[in-house]
Structure 1
Amino acid sequence: MISDGDEDDPFPVDDCLFADTFSQDTVYTLCGQDLKIRQVFGANLGVAAPVWEAAIQLCCFFEDESVDLRGKRIIELGAGTGVVGILAARMGAAVTLTDLPLALPQLQANVSANIPLGGWPVSLPTVLPLSWGEDQMKFPSDWDLVLCADIIYLPETYPLLVETLAHLCKSRGLVYLSSKMRKEHGTQHFYEDYLPERFNVELLKHEENQNINIYRASLK
């Protein structure tokens, strides 16, 4: 219904100026794949909404280092927009994307928006909720790769994340982690103290301009 414009009701009732969310569609070309990623900004999604630079850097690392993802069983933690996991699925991996329940509609929408013309090479990516330290036992432990992009920023979650990673990697899966090294969040503390308690940790790349590190970790 559209207002008649009187002084008491100067805007149409469906005017989007007062919507509490807005979205932005961006096409990212990564590893030769064009991904259309929608970022839904609003009070609810918070840090799950944007495509963070650490995610792009991880995708570029896979391309630069010719990391072969074909046929790999991959789970992504804190997937957010899903750009990393969706790329992996487009490159021939069997992918499960996980995040908190509030982020799942955005994840699912981005999966649906990126179906390859010839269909998914292996399988449709699965989208599931996973709260670290709570839900990991619902998931298997035989992943080839666990992917994490810019999820190291809340110190109270660090022990829960390590516990979750240890469960997912029981069958000797590898973890790739890409993080902006934020002093205020103790990100370095996670990699120097928390993660090495259970994992062998290797720094693979430091991107100086953005202060982003990419690590590989394997269960001790």
Structure 2
Amino acid sequence: MRSLHTQRSAGSATRHRSAGVSRVVPCRLRQASTTTTNLPRPISCQGVKLDAEFQALLEGAMARSSCTVGDRVGIIGLKFVEEGRREGCPVMESAIRLGCYLRDYKHAAIRGRTFLELGTGIGVAGLTAAAFGATVLLTDLPEVVPVAGKNLAKNADLIRGAGGLAQVAALDWAAPSEELLTAPWDYIIGSDLVYDDRSPDVLAPLLARLLASNPRATVLLAHVHRSSQLDDHMTDVFGAHGLSIRLAPRDGEDTHEEDISIIAVSRA
């Protein structure tokens, strides 16, 4: 299999934009609509108790929240909690890039489609899809997902007005429910999911199982290029699980950027 890092265009421009993330609140499920079309039943997750300092930090982030991210993904009024101390966060930046890719190449195709987002973080890419009218389940670890619930509530009216639907739930990649694996996903998305040598070994089996149940699903990941060695390792591990990686298609002179690429994953 051709290595991922050899696919990247040497002439691509590099673009950097600082952004931040905030920490989390007790885990709960939130919906942006009163209807429940196409989504599996919510996955339960355990609450996370916060101390007073942690809660104050979150409330401060909420008070400083802006529409910077929404502006970048091209949806007026889409807002996210942002914590300014974490400038240049690769998770946040990769999620914004994925949101921009959905805006530029998929916005006309995703209305009414079902999305599973892995590693949602604060929910940027998943809520962008929902704001274009998709039905989205945003997932992450229990201690990470609550802030996505805050952002879902913050954007509920916008998502509802667009005809979208979103829910937030916890997901352990190593122990996904059969219900989640067999749900009819049209798209599976994620941002900065491969960040060390261990993550491909957990992510690849999950994607292989999801694609076995949904062979026609489109898998789009925003991948941060930390090193050519990690790119090669990811390619090898994915290949061992019957998965193929390629750069997601773009039009004309729209080139891939050197620091973060949007990649497509499919069964080999």
State the TM-score, normalized to the length of structure 2. 0.65
Which residue does 1:112 correspond to in 2? Answer: 153
Q: Which has the larger radius of gyration?
A: 1
Q: Describe the shift of the 1:218–1:202 C-alpha distance in structure 2 as closer, same or farther (beyond 3 A).
A: same
- TM-score with structure 1 length normalisation? 0.77
- Number of aligned residues: 195
Of residues 190-199 and 154-163 in structure 1, the stretch that sits farther from structure 2 once superposed is: 190-199
Find 2:100's aligned residue among 53, 60, 76.
Answer: 60
Instruction: Return 5+ residue gaps in structure 2 as ranges.
Output: 1-51, 249-254
Conserved? CA contact 1:33–1:87, under 8 Å: no
Whole-angstrom distance in 1 between the partners of 2:168 and 2:101: 24
Conserved 8 A contact 2:90-2:224: no
Decide which structure has greater strand share: 1
User: Which residue of 166, 186, 190 maps to 2:208?
Assistant: 166
> What letter corresponds to residue 152 of structure 1 in structure 2?
V
Task: Please give the secondary structure, in 1, of the residue aligned with 2:256.
Answer: strand
Determine if the alignment matches structure 1 residue 71 to structure 2 residue 112.
Answer: yes
Instruction: Provide the alpha-carbon RMSD of the alignment.
Output: 2.7
2: CA distance between counterparts of 1:121 and 1:168?
27
Matches within 5 A, 1:128-139: 128-139=169-180
| 1:82 aligned partner, one-letter code | G
* Matches of 1:41 and 1:107, distance apart in 2: 17
1:80 paired with 2:114, answer no
59-68 vs 82-91, which deviates more? 59-68
How far the C-alpha of 1:53 sits from its partner, in A, is: 0.9
Per-residue deviation, 1:19: 2.7
CA deviations 1:13-46 (Å, max 9, x no partner) are: xxxxx9346243231222334321114699xxx9
Q: Could you tell me how far apart the structure 1 residues matched to 2:149 and 2:118 are?
A: 15
Q: Is the 8 A contact 2:225 2:231 kept in 1?
A: yes
* Runs of 5+ consecutive residues of structure 1 not aligned to the other structure: 1-17
* CA distances 1:37-96 after superposition (whole Å, capped 9, x unpaired): 114699xxx9xx986211111111222324421111100000000010001011011100
CA 1:100–1:118: 2 relative to 1, 3 Å: closer
Is the aligned partner of 1:37 residue 2:80?
yes
